[in-house]
Structure 1
Amino acid sequence: MTGWARVDHATRVMWRRLGRPVDLDTQPWLQAPTHTAGPVGDGWLDAAARAAGGEVVRDDPTAGLLPDLTALDGPGFTARDLHPLVRDFYEHTATWRMDAWSQWSPLAAPGGSLVAWAFGRRVQQLAIPVRPLDVSRGIDSRVLPVLDASGDQVWAGWLRRLRATDDVLFSGAYRSTRVPGHDGACVHVAFPLELGNVQVFLAPTAREDGALVLDSGPGRFGAPGAYVLVVDDEGAHHAARVPVHERFVVFVDDEGVLRTDHHLRVGPLRSLRLHYRMTRG
């Protein structure tokens, strides 16, 4: 076992001890793609398609993270309350181009640099930009729907790369999911990792101005939030809720430009702010 393999194995052991055993047959809200070994990138997509009995669509120029935002309709949220551009971004994500700006809290920046060095660039996953100039040339993205045997979209793979280096920032699987601790559906984002994943469940609300707000705040196990899931040597699953909280506000500004404010906190610490400007590709 190489040095990095030992680090990755020790990390999974840590999460098993911090987490709890879960049965994905009885807790299907935690079912999400994982990866086998090596850099993640888009390596998980074909396995996810095989598990669904379907295929990956690699050439849909209008693919969306969620084919229809009414899948999120429920107590406290109705998709028709959103600005049309906000809704179009989620339903036809591939038609949009993204530029980004980032700013770390001085207290959190060393930890972000450590994660980026030890994991992000090496495994091509969760490579959160640390320096503002990292994203100065923008972000390229591809949306790759994963279909089941009947042709329904069960996941959307969203790969975002830095234009300057072609490094993968995020390789995520997107769908809507209901969790036991929330009345309505959430946006479910899974980031596959070797023998596990990071999952985030974001509860939606619509502002009066048509903006979409997605929150993964603090709460109990089973509520919207962030989770780490790992697979042990016998194939059993363990999941831990982690104190990482995110808020996305997707809105149209006074000039009709679609934008997103993304705030990330670790516990009470405001750690990272990202701002995205989206334009038609």
Structure 2
Amino acid sequence: MNLAYPKQNFIDWLTQQWVILRGQKIEPENVPWLIGPFGELGTIGDDFVIQLANTENLIIERNTTSHGLISPFTQLNFSDSQLNQLSEKVIDFYENTANYDLNLIVKWNPFFKFFGVIVNKLFSRRINQLNIPTKNLKQPENITSEIITLTDSKTKKVKYTIWFRTIESTGEVVYSGIYSTCKLPSGKMCVKAVFPLPKGNATVIMSTSVGHNGELILDASGEKFGDPGFYFLLNDSKGNFWSQYIRSFRDQLKVYTDNEKIVAEQTLTLWNRQVLRFNYEIKHTEKKTN
């Protein structure tokens, strides 16, 4: 029987064992579109940035304004007509993400709110990752947004782009994720976000499209392994790689302009029921590099 790494928090071990039992063993070289950095034991936050840089001999640049989440935006392979439909402001946000601040409003489905509280207490606060507010926010909460790049010391090329977001009032890490693009086995180009966890990660792969009103739609939903959607990955006690595709959990993000403002709506669903909704206001602000 394959076992999760033993010398760690029991809750983490139990969760990983569930992935091993319900998921599938993978070979990294066969699924390059899925593989991303794993976290070490203990807290995640921005600690994994230093760990990853040390492991792969990379140079850390914090608060960089020279790199965006998807830069250049053309790597998503949209047609010229699709690009013309999109707002130039939305494209600029993804190419120059560090020059934008975010406000956040959260609305929970009351049937799932208890689930969010449990996840927060058992995992999020302890590892300082994925600290989603467990109360409905009627007034916007300021979110600090920082772009961190890890550059190869020899080639001087950026290898990882990290979007590090915290709640300004508490300093809690909402998301500490590595963003890139990937090409699925189907040939579809997608946006990929990797959120390191102890001995593994949560990876969200989002298909891209342009809506009827010119909104950018990122959709993490599919039917099977190899589709866009939500994946857990981990290393077991023998160093084997495992992954589980969570078909029932889906995430859709729409980004568009409204009265010259950039806004976004993100909806998370489980078993086709809305779990929570995020509403963002994205404001342009020129920031200085440290």
TM value normalised by structure 2: 0.89
Which residue, out of 238, 241, 244, partners 2:245?
Answer: 241
Inter-partner Cα distance in structure 1 for 2:167 and 2:6: 28
- RMSD of Structure 2 on Structure 1 (CA): 2.3
Please tell me whether residue 232 in structure 1 is matched to residue 236 in structure 2. yes
Residue in 2 that maps onto 1:143 = 147
Higher mean C-alpha deviation, range 89-98 or range 200-209: 200-209
TM value normalised by structure 1: 0.92
Residue in 1 that maps onto 2:190 = 186
**Conserved in 2, the CA contact under 8 Å of 1:42 and 1:159?**
yes
Secondary structure at the aligned position of 2:46 is classed as coil
Matches within 5 A, 1:148-167: 148=152, 149-167=154-172
**Conserved in 2, the CA contact under 8 Å of 1:83 and 1:209?**
no
Please give the per-residue CA displacement for 1:122-172, whole angstroms capped at 9, x wherever unaligned. Answer: 111111111124974311111112223423333211111111111111111
Residue in 2 that maps onto 1:219 = 223
Matches within 5 A, 1:61-80: 61-73=65-77, 78-80=82-84
Higher mean C-alpha deviation, range 207-216 or range 194-203: 207-216
Amino acid in structure 1 at the alignment position of 2:65: P
From the superposition, tell whether residues 118 and 279 of structure 1 become closer, same or farther in structure 2 (CA, over 3 Å). same
Runs of 4 or more consecutive aligned structure 1 residues displaced over 6 Å after TM superposition:
1-4
From the superposition, tell whether residues 170 and 77 of structure 1 become closer, same or farther in structure 2 (CA, over 3 Å). farther
From the superposition, tell whether residues 177 and 77 of structure 1 become closer, same or farther in structure 2 (CA, over 3 Å). farther
Secondary structure at the aligned position of 2:226 is classed as coil
Residue in 2 that maps onto 1:104 = 108
> Unaligned stretches of 5+ in structure 1?
none
How far off is 1:108 after superposition? 0.9
Residue in 2 that maps onto 1:264 = 268
Secondary structure at the aligned position of 2:28 is classed as coil
Please tell me whether residue 45 in structure 1 is matched to residue 46 in structure 2. no
Secondary structure at the aligned position of 1:44 is classed as helix
From the superposition, tell whether residues 51 and 17 of structure 1 become closer, same or farther in structure 2 (CA, over 3 Å). same
Higher mean C-alpha deviation, range 203-212 or range 116-125: 203-212
Amino acid in structure 2 at the alignment position of 1:188: K
From the superposition, tell whether residues 75 and 224 of structure 1 become closer, same or farther in structure 2 (CA, over 3 Å). farther
Inter-partner Cα distance in structure 1 for 2:55 and 2:7: 32
From the superposition, tell whether residues 221 and 183 of structure 1 become closer, same or farther in structure 2 (CA, over 3 Å). same
Which residue, out of 90, 95, 100, partners 1:91?
Answer: 95
Amino acid in structure 2 at the alignment position of 1:35: G
Q: Percent identity?
A: 26
Residue in 2 that maps onto 1:252 = 257
Secondary structure at the aligned position of 1:151 is classed as coil
Amino acid in structure 2 at the alignment position of 1:132: N
**Conserved in 1, the CA contact under 8 Å of 2:105 and 2:141?**
no
Inter-partner Cα distance in structure 1 for 2:224 and 2:80: 20
Inter-partner Cα distance in structure 2 for 1:271 and 1:259: 20
Higher mean C-alpha deviation, range 267-276 or range 149-158: 149-158
From the superposition, tell whether residues 34 and 78 of structure 1 become closer, same or farther in structure 2 (CA, over 3 Å). farther
How far off is 1:258 after superposition? 0.3
How far off is 1:53 after superposition? 4.8
Please tell me whether residue 124 in structure 1 is matched to residue 144 in structure 2. no
Higher mean C-alpha deviation, range 165-174 or range 120-129: 120-129
Inter-partner Cα distance in structure 2 for 1:158 and 1:244: 22
Residue in 2 that maps onto 1:55 = 59
Higher mean C-alpha deviation, range 209-218 or range 20-29: 209-218
Inter-partner Cα distance in structure 1 for 2:156 and 2:94: 19
Inter-partner Cα distance in structure 2 for 1:129 and 1:76: 39
Aligned residues: 279
Inter-partner Cα distance in structure 2 for 1:54 and 1:77: 38
